[in-house]
Amino acid sequence: MIRTHYFSDIDAKSDGKEVTIAGWARNVRDSGKITFLFVADRTGETQVIAKAGETNEKVRDTIKSLDREDVIAVRGKVRINEKAPGGKEIVPTSVTVINRAEKPLPMETDPNITSSLDTRLNYRYIDLRRPQVRAIFRIRDIIQRSFVRYLEEHGFILVNTPEIVAAATEGGTNLFPISYFEREAFLVQSPQLYKQMLMASSLDKVIIQCPVFRAEEHDTSFHLNESTQMDIELAFVEDEQDALDYMQGVVKFIYSQINKEAKEELKMLGRKPDVPDRIKQITYDEAMNIVNKESRLEWGQDFSPEMQRIINKKFNPAIVTKWPTDLRAFYSMPEPGNPKICRAYDLLIDGIEVSSGAQRIHKHEELVKEMKRRGMNPDNFEFYLGAFKYGMPPHAGWSIGLDRLTMVLTGAKNVRECVLFPRDRKRLTP
């Protein structure tokens, strides 16, 4: 039996038409003369109603034999019925059992019954049959597509950079080593160095969406060891504000597209994200003053998650600019006349750091000097530094964490809920 319609395709114009739907059996209720079957596909659930005298008894017997999550196809006529869920139902002429689900099920698919997060992740393929879970990944899909769409319309080009590298992207040690033929290599922490190298080419406005890997021992609700970044880099900038304007624009566009394309999903998740007209920009010093009304932060220290929440109580979202140089990556551009401060920035939403970026140092000798100041060996980065010798323009960029932004917009309590098959300190399967 070949599916002709998803449930969402069936509307008032389908009344009386024959359709074939396919999905998973959910509930069967039999009152003797009437048997109800609820079938789920990725777009929702629909009601199949089989009445004695109206539906063939073999068809009714097949329906009665079904267990939860059996894979089935139903052929029948559409009947518009305001009392039915979704205002429509199907009167079956045939029901085909495509595959039976083993019993007992390893987890519940009833949206009213909560399984532990570990159980859900162990059986993600079943978990994704639940509408609230599908809603999260529908919103994640809109975020990714909207990100690319907005930036392409502003002249950016989508590129891909390596996931296997010879040296640390940001000078850190939190790398996953791998065996690469006769030598050691690493999984990339960030596409940072490569997108900067591209600024020395004619590809001077780029988008990158890619997985990144960090061997950090965090075990929190918003950290992963494999995550997905959405990056931009652009050249010939005046200062960091050129990149921040694109951040402002793309975040606003993503919010507006989610409100437009995911009305049902947002309703299901109980979310009403307000589209930011203009994200408030504050300096590190201003943010520190906000924090110190409730906590204690010394200049030059990073904000804790609790401090980020304090900032967002005042301004949400907020972009924090002008950071202490020593807190940021070696390539961050120091403020002219005040090298203790650099042109770096973070985007905070709901107390979570969602994005980070900076204007970069674009002069070779200044970049080498800064690397040496931090105890880094420039010889290990010659593949990167070479791009700065032959005409590197001023450039800036940033990265948005797709997993965290999805977490913020869906109201998920744990970032693992927003990743199909998350990788953290304890989880390497499925």
Answer whether residue 340 is part of any domain: yes
Question: What pLDDT is recorded for position 109?
Answer: 87
Question: What pLDDT is recorded for position 170?
Answer: 61
Same domain? For 169 and 289 the reply is: yes
Residue 383 maps to which CATH number? 3.30.930.10
Answer whether residue 203 is part of any domain: yes
Same domain? For 272 and 333 the reply is: yes
Same domain? For 216 and 166 the reply is: yes
Tell me which residue of 62, 57, 122, 70 sits closest to 430, measured CA to CA: 122
Same domain? For 193 and 68 the reply is: no
Same domain? For 326 and 363 the reply is: yes
Dmax of the chain from CA atoms?
88
Answer whether residue 111 is part of any domain: no
Under a CB-based contact definition with an 8 Å cutoff, are residues 131 and 394 in contact?
no
Global pTM?
0.93
Answer whether residue 428 is part of any domain: no
Question: What pLDDT is recorded for position 86?
Answer: 85
The residue range of the domain holding 60 is: 7-99
95: Cα separation from own chain's centroid: 38
- Distance in angstroms (rounded) separating the CA atoms of residues 309 and 246: 24
Q: Which residues contact 370 (CB under 8 A, 6 or more apart)?
A: 330, 331, 334, 361
Same domain? For 256 and 169 the reply is: yes
Q: For tokens 């002249």, what's the residue?
A: 155
Under a CB-based contact definition with an 8 Å cutoff, are residues 109 and 68 in contact?
yes
Q: Is 376 left (phi over 0), alpha (psi -120 to 50) or beta?
A: beta
Same domain? For 18 and 63 the reply is: yes
- Distance in angstroms (rounded) separating the CA atoms of residues 23 and 133: 17
Could you report the per-residue pLDDT of 42-78, keeping only the tens digit for each?
998 999 999 999 999 999 999 999 999 999 999 999 9
Under a CB-based contact definition with an 8 Å cutoff, are residues 424 and 223 in contact?
yes
Last residue of a domain, which of 82, 99, 116? 99
Angle between helices 131-152 and 402-410 (to 10 degrees): 120
Same domain? For 95 and 147 the reply is: no
Q: Is 51 left (phi over 0), alpha (psi -120 to 50) or beta?
A: beta
Number of domains in the chain: 2
Same domain? For 291 and 193 the reply is: yes
DSSP 215-276: -----STT--SEEEEEEEEEES-SSTHHHHHHHHHHHHHHHHHHHHH-HHHHHHHT--PPPP
Tell me which residue of 104, 40, 100, 38 sits closest to 71, measured CA to CA: 100
Could you report the per-residue pLDDT of 335-355, keeping only the tens digit for each?
999 999 999 999 999 999 999
Last residue of a domain, which of 58, 81, 99? 99
Residue 198 tokens read as 């591209």
Q: For tokens 């061997």, what's the residue?
A: 215
Same domain? For 30 and 131 the reply is: no
Q: Is 45 left (phi over 0), alpha (psi -120 to 50) or beta?
A: beta
Answer whether residue 110 is part of any domain: no
Answer whether residue 178 is part of any domain: yes
Residue 50 maps to which CATH number? 2.40.50.140
The parts of the chain modelled with pLDDT lower than 50 are none
Same domain? For 195 and 299 the reply is: yes
Question: What pLDDT is recorded for position 1?
Answer: 66
Answer whether residue 167 is part of any domain: yes
Question: What pLDDT is recorded for position 138?
Answer: 97
Task: Give the count of alpha carbons within 13 A of 131, CB side only.
Answer: 19
Same domain? For 75 and 131 the reply is: no
Answer whether residue 387 is part of any domain: yes
List, in sequence order, every residue forming a beta bridge with 180; answer none if it has no partner.
Answer: 183
Helix residue spans in 270-354 (DSSP H): 284-291, 305-314
